[in-house]
Amino acid sequence: MKPVSLIQFLIEERRAGRINAELSLLIEVVARACKRIAVATSKGALGGVLGNAGSPGSLSMNVQGEAQKKLDVISNEILLEANAWGGHLAACASEEMEDPQPIPDMYPKGNHLLLFDPLDGSSNIDVNISVGTIFSVLRCPEHVTEPKVEDFLQPGTQQLAAGYVVYGPATLLVLTFGHGTHEFTLDREVGSFMLSRRDIRIPVDTAEFAINMSNQRHWEAPMQRYVGELLAGKEGPRGKDFNMRWVASMVADVHRIITRGGVFFYPLDAKIKAKGGKLRLMYEANPMAFIIEQAGGAATTGRERIMELQPTGLHQRVPVFLGSRGEVEVATRYHREADVAY
Ligand code: P6P
């Protein structure tokens, strides 16, 4: 069968009435920007883009209080510049910027809001481990021409599209419009994303979990119990052995799950409880939850469905339990039972 490019796929989706022309253009522009980010990340030390932004002693810090990598800043600029002139956006929001970024006055405005983590897992850049871009698309509220933070604070169920690009051995785009989750592989010779997996389905059950075990002593009791049972293997109550992976790059861990199943956890722990969690709701948890659910998986905070949360802040953090539906439901049940018991 003739390979289908991203552009052809988007035209098919428009003809089927599942997306409109403006959203189609937005996704094309984001995909093209991510190809430029792929080029920048692939240069490694030769590109002079490794290491922290700013100078020693005065590192550039992002809104999260984290040292920005040069590639964080470069990737953010690439996405902002690519989306400024197209006329499909009302504003952008990014992990790397405190406030929403309006579309410059000299350009026409559109009806969409784009949120992104321009380079997730960037601490892995300097050790050449896969990183990625995560993005989420919302509708701009009617008659709003200068979107404010509150215009972005929509539940994940309101997303029109979500996706990520993983910059790994291959550069892959995984995308959903709410009609299945689909994977595109960048054909570097042609420069096009080509459909490589249509309507992905994640196995309901799994024997592979991803978590940063070094935080174990800080976890809540239900998480201690749940992970303890995974580690007990076939001699324990679960009656089977489990394997563990942790890349410390959400896009890479989620892509493994999209590809072969598994579960990913970043639970609340005593160290981060005050912040609400580690991962950000608006441009990490919500887009990943949309992608995972559309592939038949589940995504909760350990207590409730991530996509039904009413956001309270642009950079709000939440606990994340996502992946194979059967296993996420077990971990979530342990937390809900504990809450009832208390
Ligand atoms: P830890 C990367 O900084 C990130 O936001 C996610 O990509 C990743 O899953 C997580 O944090 C890793 O956290 O505590 O293991 O470094």
Best residue among 211, 250, 268, 282 to mutate for probing ligand 1, ranked by most atoms within 8 Å of CB: 250
The pLDDT, as a whole number, for residue 53 is 78
The pLDDT, as a whole number, for residue 61 is 75
Q: Is the dihedral of CA 178, 261, 173, 320 positive or negative?
A: positive
Closest CA to 246 of 232, 266, 230: 266
Residue 17: CA count within 13 A, CB half-sphere: 0
Res 338 pLDDT > 90:
no
Q: Is the dihedral of CA 318, 37, 42, 167 positive or negative?
A: positive
Which residues have CB under 8 Å from 34's CB, separation 6+? 133, 165, 171, 173
Residues 175-188 have a mean pLDDT of: 98
The pLDDT, as a whole number, for residue 56 is 72
The pLDDT, as a whole number, for residue 45 is 80
Res 15 pLDDT > 90:
yes
Environment class of residue 114 by beta-carbon count within 10 Å: exposed (0-12), middle (13-18) or buried (19+)? Answer: buried
Helix intervals (H) in 128-214? 149-152
Annotated binding site for substrate: 120-123, 212, 278
The pLDDT, as a whole number, for residue 60 is 79
Res 57 pLDDT > 80:
no
The pLDDT, as a whole number, for residue 270 is 81
In angstroms, the CA 213 to CA 245 distance is 10
Mean pLDDT of the chain: 94
Q: What is the pLDDT of residues 201-250, one digit of tens each?
A: 999 999 999 999 999 999 999 999 999 999 999 999 999 999 999 999 99
Side chain identity at residue 288, one-letter code: M
Res 342 pLDDT > 70:
no
Residues 157-164 have a mean pLDDT of: 98
Annotated binding site for Mg(2+): 95, 117, 119-120, 284
The pLDDT, as a whole number, for residue 277 is 92
Residue 250 Cα to ligand 1 midpoint, Å, equals 6
Helix (H) or strand (E) holding 10, with range, is helix 6-15
Tokens matching residue 151: 């215009």
Strand order in the sheet with 181-187: 101-102, 89-94, 112-120, 131-139, 161-167, 171-176, 181-187, 192-197
The structure tokens 């194979």 sit at: 324
ipTM above 0.95, yes or no: yes
Res 311 pLDDT > 90:
yes
The pLDDT, as a whole number, for residue 197 is 97
Tokens matching residue 214: 């070094």
**Closest residue to atom 4 of ligand 1, CA basis:** 121
Please state the atom number of ligand 1 nearest to the C-alpha of residue 66: 3
Helix (H) or strand (E) holding 257, with range, is helix 250-260
Phi, psi values for residue 19, rounded to 5°: -140, 160
Residues 102-124 have a mean pLDDT of: 93
The pLDDT, as a whole number, for residue 68 is 74
Contact criterion met (CB below 8 Å) for 202 and 325: yes
